[in-house]
Amino acid sequence: MNTISVFILGLQCQAQVNEAVNRGLIYTKTGTQVSSNLNFTNESSGNFINNGEFHFYRNYKNEGLFSYSSNSTSGYVVFEGKNDIIQKITGDSPSFFYDVLFNKPAIDYAFHLDNEIESSGIVNFYDGIVLVNKNNGGSFTFLDGANQTNASSKSFVDGLVTKEGNDSFKFPIGGSGNYRFAGISAPSNVVDQYIGQYFYENTDNLYPHKNKTGVINKINDKEYWIINKEIYSKNSVILTLSWDDQITPKDLLVEDAKYLHVVRWDLSQNLWVDEGGIVDFQNKTVTTPVEVDGFGIFTLATIKPNLLNPGDVVIYDGVTPDGDGINDYLIIDNIQNFPKNSVKIFNRWGTEVYHTSNYDSDNNVFNGFANTGQSFGGSNKLPTGTYYYILEYEYNRDGESYMVNKAGFLHLENND
What's the whole-number average pLDDT of the chain?
87
Q: If you ran DSSP here, which 8-state letter would residue 337 be given?
A: G
Average pLDDT score over residue span 363-374:
86
At residue 282, the pLDDT reads 86
Of 40-44, 283-287, 400-404, the least confident: 400-404
At residue 403, the pLDDT reads 82
Do the beta carbons of residue 240 and residue 285 sit within 8 Å?
yes
At residue 398, the pLDDT reads 66
Of 149-153, 179-183, 212-216, the least confident: 212-216
Cα 233 to Cα 165, 192, 300, 382: the distances in Å are: 13, 7, 26, 31
At residue 318, the pLDDT reads 86
- Whether the pLDDT of residue 2 is over 50: the answer is no
- Whether the pLDDT of residue 54 is over 90: the answer is yes
- Whether the pLDDT of residue 332 is over 50: the answer is yes
pTM: 0.78
At residue 3, the pLDDT reads 36
Q: Measured between alpha carbons, how far is 350 from 363 in angstroms, rounded to an integer?
A: 26
- Whether the pLDDT of residue 5 is over 50: the answer is no
Task: Give the residue from 152, 102, 154 showing the smallest Cα distance to 123.
Answer: 102
- Whether the pLDDT of residue 307 is over 70: the answer is no
Q: For 324, what's the count of Cα atoms within 13 Å in the CB-facing half-sphere?
A: 8
Radius of gyration of the chain (CA): 27
- Whether the pLDDT of residue 1 is over 50: the answer is no
- Whether the pLDDT of residue 286 is over 80: the answer is yes
Do the beta carbons of residue 314 and residue 214 sit within 8 Å?
yes
At residue 7, the pLDDT reads 44
At residue 378, the pLDDT reads 53
At residue 197, the pLDDT reads 98
- Tell me which of 18 and 29 has the higher pLDDT: 29
Amino acid at 271: L
Surface-to-core class of residue 33, CB atoms within 10 Å of its CB (0-12 exposed, 13-18 middle, 19+ buried): exposed
- Whether the pLDDT of residue 316 is over 70: the answer is yes
Q: Pairing mode, if any, of strands 99-103 and 122-127?
A: parallel
Compute φ and ψ for 337, nearest 5 degrees.
-80, -5
At residue 240, the pLDDT reads 95
Of 38-47, 178-187, 212-221, 355-364, the least confident: 355-364
Of 66-80, 334-348, 361-375, 381-395, the least confident: 361-375
At residue 374, the pLDDT reads 67
